[in-house]
Structure 1
Amino acid sequence: EWIDIAQQAGMKYIVFTTKHHDGFCMFDSQLTDYDITQSPFQRDIVAEIAEACHKARFGLGFYYSLPDWRHPDYKTDHHEGYVEYLRGQVRELCENYGPVDILWFDGKRQGTPETWDSDNLIRMIRKLQPKVLINDRFWGETDFHTPEQVIGRFEPDRPWESCITIGHQWSWKPNEQLKSWQECARLLALVVGGGGNLLFNVGPMPSGAIQPRQVECLERIGEWLDRYGESIYSTSAGPLEPSYWGASTHRDNSLYLHILKGWETDLELPPIERHILSYQNLTGGTAEVVQSSEVLRIKASPVDPEKPLTLLKLTLDGPASDIPYKGSNVGIPAGARAQGSNIRRGEEHYAPTKAVDDDPLSRWATDDGVTEAWLEIEL
């Protein structure tokens, strides 16, 4: 059922939590009794997920936490005993569940390369699963970057994946405020327009079922992708970098502009070095595109409130991939002077200047419990 829901949402792979920081294993491990098969559930849910993925030809990924708060040797003088345990469990995941597409580690900051014997572990993984992709929350030769709860920076030549939740926390929570399906679709467009994948987190309820309102959100995203997926799947990011107005993607001679609400009626973008043969407002309504050597001017019908954004398709006289990457020509200048009423723990990492440093992975933040704050930017 989980895989069916994911496919209906337009997803192409799953990353399932096989063990989190608490050490409880969601698979049948021969190295501990602290696993799901020793619980009243008794079944190996990882085996069932793997079988469903292989049957549906759906990508299979395993999340595995490096830290383990329960293991007696973890972060002690006998830590090498825990590393041997960790290596054994990763071997089980690589050997017992058929082809694995992704290994998604977490907790890298809790140690060093030597802490986890990372070189030997990666060599073992590559030998057992030669085609697997390993995320960057580990040391050594990994395959992709993983910004968390933020959209990654524009890096079309560096593989990355933003992991972002459907609500405001990891795991399921009763009565949690969820993102609207429109917000989720916009999020997807901005991630893909930056060169990344979106790992969209949905947590099942204690019963194992996905909450109906989460399913409804996923189904609406899937319906949107059924109609507009040509601008998402098998596209490349750019050439216009994501910014205040939205994002762009391209494939062959087609350039797609995902324009956010409020900017569609009068938008000026950097010029492109390809002649526009035709254009179409895929989301309905009118559109006017005027091209010159100095600017690309867009005027389109206002966004329907029920739709996430305006999507324009420009057909060019040659491959869009030949157009150099271009930043936006307006916006808050990076490096502008900024000050705020509060800084989280007084740390520079959360300073007000982080709100205008042109880095989507940094942020201004306040202390926990602060309900009112101000940010002043000198323009």
Structure 2
Amino acid sequence: MRNNTKKISLVCGLLLCLVGLSHAQGPNVPTFPAVNKQSMKDFMDLRFGMFIHWGPVTLRGTEIGWSRNHQVAQNDYDSLYKEFDPVLFDADAWVKTAKDAGMKYIVITAKHHDGFCLWPTAFTSYNIMQTPFKKDVVGALAKACKKYDIKFGIYYTVLDWYDRSYPVHNDGKGIAPDGDMNKFVQYMKSQLKELIDNYHPFLLWFDGNWEQPWTNDYAKDMYAYLKKLDPALIVNNRLGKNEHEILNEQSVGDYATPEQKIGKLNMSFPWESCITICNQWAWKPNDKMKPLKQCISTLALTAGGNGNLLLNVGPMPDGRMEARQVKQLKAMGDWLKQNGASIYGTLGGPFTPDSSFASTRKGNKIYLHLLNVSKKSLVLATIPGVHIQKAYLMTGAAVNFKENATSIELQLPDTLIPDSNDTVIVLQADKNVEDVVVVEKN
């Protein structure tokens, strides 16, 4: 992930101009292939996934990539793979944890900014087969995902501070004199083809698009290359140079990626918030974990904004996920067993979410997620052309309401609020509400 406190891009850009590296020029830009609409719909219907940040850096308990040359000396960081032996790694256990959490897809950091590869790539020796562990982590997870019917996705960063062909390094020396961006881009293509051919991910999650040598022309060329390899492949917008939260005609990618924040209600383009279950992306001893209510509220507010939630966990150096995180995820899964219809396959709205509640919709049903409602009633604006026929809890218990020309008022007795994390009320309408215009709450 991006660490906004450690920006070297501006300095690198100036140095790049001074040394006049010819590889700063991008290739000829091909015509974009069309986004596969069915693939995107299927992806957005999933709503909830697991992000996994993991690698040899867990031996130090510092942040993956970003702690290199900061909290951990470069030589130490780059040698950690020699000690990395996660003997308790169990791909089935990881994927089963995601399954029990109600998650529908997984994204693993196959290669982060530190350049270390969690699969036996043929294009660099800096990979998992050079560790004492010597097992293909990416391959094991791909196989386990197939077993448990979980979609499999791969994180792959654009920048690489280890590979000497990449012109920028975070070793304090700025531009690498022997850098060759065209050579590095070919290295990327070779590895990405290897990942697609060997593991068949449904999604590629890019990162590290902000540094100077990577241009939008490179991004467009890479996007077309990937779509030619697999037209159904989904690619996030961090392949191109635009801001993470935006998807527009200048973007290169299929969906936007707000980070460590919940995206705003947006019916114009698909998006996915990536948020950590603790504070750090990679494992950190005694890292503070978000409470269950916050995790469930985050999921509800994300779906209520018409987005997906990619919730991150960082496994430990021995290969296990922390028991407390597994327990927390299981509790989310238990909640989803009762309330999953209000999350999966829904659209956001029709009411704009806030800290008190969110709403989702599917068919002729509106799902109200009560997150912090302290009053005995909830007043909503009427939806033009739509009338509410009945209101009830997910358990089936009726909820009293009154509807007039301007408002819908729901009565909320304490006995009808069984879940302090997120109680869901269903409003059954007299017609399909998926195409109605988003309305403001009273």
Q: What SS does structure 1 have at the residue aligned with 2:274?
A: strand
2:184 aligned to which of 72, 82, 86: 82
Query: What letter corresponds to residue 316 of structure 1 in structure 2?
Result: A
**Are positions 1:202 and 2:304 aligned together?**
no
Partner of 2:342: 231
Distance change in 2, residues 1:164/1:14 (3 Å)? same
Distance 1:177 1:264 in 2: 31
**Are positions 1:317 and 2:427 aligned together?**
no
- After the TM superposition, which residues 113-262 of structure 1 pair with which residues of structure 2 at under 5 Å, given as runs? 114=215, 117-139=218-240, 141-262=252-373
Q: What SS does structure 2 have at the residue aligned with 1:6?
A: helix
- After superposition, the C-alpha distances for 1:324-355 in whole angstroms (9 at most, x for unaligned) are 211234xxxxxxxxxxxxxxxxxxxxxxxxxx
Partner of 2:406: 294
Structure 1 residue 214, shift from structure 2 partner = 0.3
**Are positions 1:8 and 2:119 aligned together?**
no
Distance change in 2, residues 1:163/1:200 (3 Å)? same
- After superposition, the C-alpha distances for 1:339-376 in whole angstroms (9 at most, x for unaligned) are xxxxxxxxxxxxxxxxxxxxxxxxxxxxxxxxxxxxxx
Structure 1 residue 282, shift from structure 2 partner = 2.9
Partner of 2:392: 280
Tell which deviates more after alignment, 48-57 or 61-70. Answer: 48-57
Distance 2:151 2:323 in 1: 24
- After superposition, the C-alpha distances for 1:115-139 in whole angstroms (9 at most, x for unaligned) are 7722222222112222110000012
2:156 aligned to which of 64, 67, 72: 64
Distance change in 2, residues 1:269/1:217 (3 Å)? same
Partner of 2:59: none
Query: What letter corresponds to residue 262 of structure 1 in structure 2?
Result: V
Aligned length: 328
State TM-score, norm by structure 1. 0.82
Partner of 2:247: none
Tell which deviates more after alignment, 303-312 or 267-276. Answer: 303-312
Query: What letter corresponds to residue 134 of structure 1 in structure 2?
Result: V
CA contact (8 A) 2:275 2:310 kept: yes
- After superposition, the C-alpha distances for 1:253-297 in whole angstroms (9 at most, x for unaligned) are 111111222345232221123211111123688743221111222
Query: What letter corresponds to residue 323 of structure 1 in structure 2?
Result: V
Partner of 1:347: none
Distance 1:181 1:221 in 2: 7
Partner of 1:351: none
Structure 1 residue 111, shift from structure 2 partner = 3.0
Tell which deviates more after alignment, 120-129 or 311-320. Answer: 120-129
**Are positions 1:22 and 2:135 aligned together?**
no
- After superposition, the C-alpha distances for 1:24-45 in whole angstroms (9 at most, x for unaligned) are 1111111111101111110111
Q: Tell me how large the CA RMSD over aligned residues is.
A: 2.0
2:420 aligned to which of 285, 297, 307: 307
- After superposition, the C-alpha distances for 1:80-129 in whole angstroms (9 at most, x for unaligned) are 222222222112111121x2110000011113663772222222211222
Structure 1 residue 68, shift from structure 2 partner = 0.8
Q: What SS does structure 2 have at the residue aligned with 1:14?
A: strand
State TM-score, norm by structure 2. 0.70
Distance 1:258 1:293 in 2: 23
Q: What SS does structure 2 have at the residue aligned with 1:96?
A: helix
Distance 2:215 2:293 in 1: 45
Considering Cα pairs closer than 8 Å and 6+ residues apart, tell me whether 1 or 2 has the greater RCO.
2
Distance 1:221 1:47 in 2: 27
Distance change in 2, residues 1:182/1:67 (3 Å)? same
Partner of 2:89: none
Tell which deviates more after alignment, 111-120 or 179-188. Answer: 111-120
Q: What SS does structure 2 have at the residue aligned with 1:103?
A: strand
Distance 1:308 1:95 in 2: 42
Partner of 2:139: 47
CA contact (8 A) 2:99 2:148 kept: no
1:36 aligned to which of 93, 104, 128: 128
CA contact (8 A) 1:162 1:198 kept: yes
Query: What letter corresponds to residue 205 of structure 1 in structure 2?
Result: M
Distance 1:88 1:127 in 2: 14
CA contact (8 A) 2:255 2:271 kept: yes
Distance change in 2, residues 1:113/1:70 (3 Å)? closer
Query: What letter corresponds to residue 67 of structure 1 in structure 2?
Result: L
Distance change in 2, residues 1:327/1:147 (3 Å)? same
**Are positions 1:105 and 2:216 aligned together?**
no
Structure 1 residue 308, shift from structure 2 partner = 0.7
Distance change in 2, residues 1:115/1:136 (3 Å)? closer
Distance change in 2, residues 1:304/1:253 (3 Å)? closer
**Structure 1 gaps, min length 5:** 330-379
